[in-house]
Structure 1
């Protein structure tokens, strides 16, 4: 059993390059406007659909993606592998995010999809040190990870309780 994730991408070649380096796996199938990967570790069927007309807002429905590991050492190993392949990361940090204590690193795809490699090391309350308040307005610089209590708020808008991970720029 594995999770399938289908993503729309603006540039299929750039996406194939990024995900090949990120998962250390070549695509299983590439066709015009389409590619898929059968990633063994973590178990994942990754499907890419090219949409050259998509803009950066194509991922607004997506909060972030993640690979949950079982140890902090696995996060560090993943971060080392990613940086050795030229994928920019945030570095490995211990943090409080998503109501959990975690060791994590983040990367961003060519289309702006943020990926978190992490291990949960404990539970946390939203108001513990390290939780970052949501921004009030404007385009999000941070990804939101706690769900809004009421339907309809925009990313970074009112009603968001916590943010983690970077939307762009990767530097913390």
Structure 2
């Protein structure tokens, strides 16, 4: 069963963890100095926050697949949506994943992904807090833009 993914950039992780822990009546299932994630069942969502977005607010949305078959279905859906789709594999946040990125008409990046393994560092590197949490590569026609910023991460760049 698929799970909605939401990633939000925050300025103060401790304050945000306290707020969302109260809102969700649950502590994060993953917690690092710069990142926290709740894997909620009701509603079924992978909700992540980090201080690495470069901006406070919505970083990206997504749909998490439980297996490669579901990911293939999500890839087909993304292609059917009519915007370019970029494939990616590798480290992103604290996970290795296979994924596809696209952008909606409002300019919001959408990630369709299947998580493979947890990794101990953000994108396999110790990045600075200003580095982007979003691992989306550029997708041409249209540009991938979130909140008036073009995404510049490319597969293999160390950002994903």
Higher strand share: 2
Pair member with larger Rg: 1
TM-score range, shorter chain: 0.3 to 0.5
TM-score by length of 2: 0.45
**Higher normalized contact order (CA 8 Å, seq sep 6+, divided by chain length):** 2
